[in-house]
Amino acid sequence: MANTPQAKKRIRRNARRADINGARVGRIRTFIKKVEAALASGDKAAATTALAAAQPELQRGVAKGVLHKNTASRKFSRLTKAVTTLA
């Protein structure tokens, strides 16, 4: 258990940051799911539009520190490849 005032403050701060970061990751997941849904439906135009919207969200996640740079790169690369192979 936290004894010092600073340790108690860190617990409060960490809880707030966890909520904020969780919301950020959830927002990124939503954008990725939109791309995957467009891919599943076979709509290339919608998939391209959704991919263009998802890319800045992934980069923002990297900038905010909730995603690793390589993770975002890998996700974007795989989504791009899936969109381009869509006939």
Q: Which CATH number do you get for residue 59?
A: 1.20.58.110
Return d(Cα 47, Cα 4) in angstroms, integer: 52
* Helices within the chain (DSSP H only): 5-41, 44-64, 69-85
pLDDT of 1 reads 79
pTM: 0.87
pLDDT tens digits, 33-87: 999 999 999 999 999 999 999 999 999 999 999 999 999 999 999 999 999 998 7
pLDDT of 39 reads 96
Contact 74, 44 (CB under 8 A): no
Quote the domain boundaries for residue 76: 5-85
**What's the number of domains the chain is made of?**
1
Return d(Cα 61, Cα 6) in angstroms, integer: 28
Contact 44, 18 (CB under 8 A): no
Contact 34, 55 (CB under 8 A): no
